Amino acid sequence: MENRRPIRIQKKEEIFRIKETAQPVDNSAAAGSTNSINTNKEEDSDETTASDALSTEEEDEVAAKKQKTPHLLKYATFYWSAIMCIIIGYLFHCVNHKCETNIKTMAQANHILTEKINQLESLLHSKHREIDVADYLEGARIIHDLTTDSFVKKGWLNSVKGLGAEVAIDRVCTKYHCYSFKGSEGKLAIAFKNEKVIRKIGIIHPSYDNKSSAMKSFFVDCIVNNNHVCMGEFEYEVPGDAFQQFLIPPTKCTGIVFRIKSNHGKKEYTCIYKVYAFE
């Protein structure tokens, strides 16, 4: 019994000693842990500050890029608009120049046509105007036995026939209103109402038609007592005036014959719009 008690006391004292010796250790450990915690906090705060700084820089870079992008788009849009304006302006300039050229050409053609019309009107209203005796209204008629037949083109389904020689002595001179015959050689014979003294002949081939079908080289014969007297060889010039006149020796005759020898390149047919015979 005596041995157990001192042992307990000793153990109790040892326990107290251990506690006393353990307290400073605990304080230093606590201080160390506190310091380590503070250090960790400082490191964390430094890392947080660094990360905040990095994020701020990244945000600044992103913001700068966002600011640059609209400027680039503005510049690109401006340059593209400028280029398109230049191209469109050049196209308008070309169109305007072409229109002005066409207007000038039409104005010149209109001026020439007006002069021709004025000349014709003055001729028609003149008291001393020449009389065309090779005109249907003046009693002229076609001699069909001496005149080449009208042009005929036969096809599988239909055929095309040109107008008769009578249109060459009437006063209608519209487009396609002409006497035509096959090829480039033919005859057109006209009888007058009575005996006439012919001094000049004329031929018209309007400018609105293709002049390759116009007669080129031809002879003129006057019918005198049923005999054909050659008045000479003539040529209708292309390019040239639509209405061309040719002088012949004054001859008393009852009719006239045009002997066409060639045209201006049309192989299929030859067209005659109107012929004239003036006293």
Contact 234, 218 (CB under 8 A): yes
pLDDT score of 137 more than 60: yes
CATH homologous superfamily for 134-276?
Answer: Galactose-binding domain-like (2.60.120.260)
Q: Which residues pair with 180 in a beta bridge?
A: 271
Q: Which one has a higher pLDDT value, 269 or 41? A: 269
pLDDT category at 127 given cuts 50, 70, 90 is very low
Q: What is the pLDDT averaged over residues 7-34?
A: 51
Model pLDDT, residue 151 = 86
Q: How many CA atoms lie within 13 A of 113 on its CB side?
A: 9
Per DSSP (E only), the strands in 205-242 are 217-224, 227-235
pLDDT in tens, 249-265: 998 999 999 999 999 98
Distance CA 99, CA 146 (A): 51
Query: What average pLDDT does this structure show over 214-234?
Result: 91
Q: Which residue has the higher pLDDT, 229 or 158?
A: 229
Q: With a cut of 60, say whether residue 47 has pLDDT above it.
A: no
pLDDT of residue 30: 47
Band (238; pLDDT cuts 50, 70, 90): confident
Chain segment 177-220, per-residue pLDDT in tens: 889 899 889 999 999 989 999 999 999 888 766 788 889 999 99
Categorize the per-residue pLDDT at 76 as very low, low, confident or very high, splitting at 50, 70 and 90: confident
Of the candidates 279, 235, 228, the one whose C-alpha atom is nearest the C-alpha of residue 256 is: 228
**What gap in Å lies between CA 274 and CA 134, rounded to an integer?**
9
d(CA 275, CA 187): 12
